[in-house]
Amino acid sequence: MEPKVRIEDLQAGEEAFSLSKVVKREEVKAYADASGDQNPLHQDDNFARSVGFPGIIAHGMFSMALVAKAVTDWVGDPGALKRIRVQFRAPVFMAEALVARGRVDQVDPSSRRVTLSVWAEVDRAGERQLPVKNSRAEVELS
């Protein structure tokens, strides 16, 4: 399939995408069932409090899924995604608005590869936190 973006139109430094969702408890439960990761940290508030959080947190992979979706929505063809590497650096709590964002870092016309900086952010009491940071995605455009 044809990618939505053309390498000729991309410039290093430009913002590529922004995709947001409000994280809901029932979605995190659905994610536990769909992924098979039943760690109580993502389901049981009492357990989460016992290990130092104010309540349950979303799976890191739940945030990564939003980041990956933002990349494939942007590029159009999911097959264009060649590599994604993320670091999980902060928790995501229930009812927070999680925003996946990306910026074009490198454009290589000879290999048709585009490297993006990707991250996920939340606004927590007026302060920007980065649950996903220092992360990269590589896409290959036909």
Partner 1 sequence: MAMNYALKGKTYQEVTFTVDRDRVLQFCDAIGEDNPIFRDPAAAKEAGYDEQLAPPTFPTVMQIMTSGQVVMDQELGLNYMMVVHAEQEYEYHRPLKVGDELTAVPRIADAYARGPNEFLVIEAEMRDRSGETVVVARSTLLSRGTAGG
Residue whose CB is less far from partner 1, 76 or 126: 76
105 lies in the site for partner 1, by CB under 8 A = no
33 lies in the site for partner 1, by CB under 8 A = yes
User: For residue 104, what is the enclosing H or E element?
Assistant: strand 97-108
Between 60-75 and 25-35, two packed helices, what is the crossing angle to 10 degrees? 90
Q: Strands across the sheet with 113-124, in order?
A: 15-22, 97-108, 113-124, 127-140
- Measured CA to CA, the distance from residue 68 to residue 85 in angstroms comes to 10
The least CB distance from residue 68 to partner 1, in Å, is 4
Residue whose CB is less far from partner 1, 79 or 126: 79
Beta carbons of 5 and 70 less than 8 angstroms apart: no
Q: Which residues contact 65 (CB under 8 A, 6 or more apart)?
A: 31
Contact flags string 79-98 toward partner 1, x per CB under 8 A: x-xxxxxxxx----------
66 lies in the site for partner 1, by CB under 8 A = yes
Residue whose CB is less far from partner 1, 64 or 121: 64
142 lies in the site for partner 1, by CB under 8 A = no
Site of interaction with partner 1 (CB under 8 A): 1, 21, 27, 30-31, 33-37, 51, 59-62, 64-66, 68-69, 71-73, 77-79, 81-88
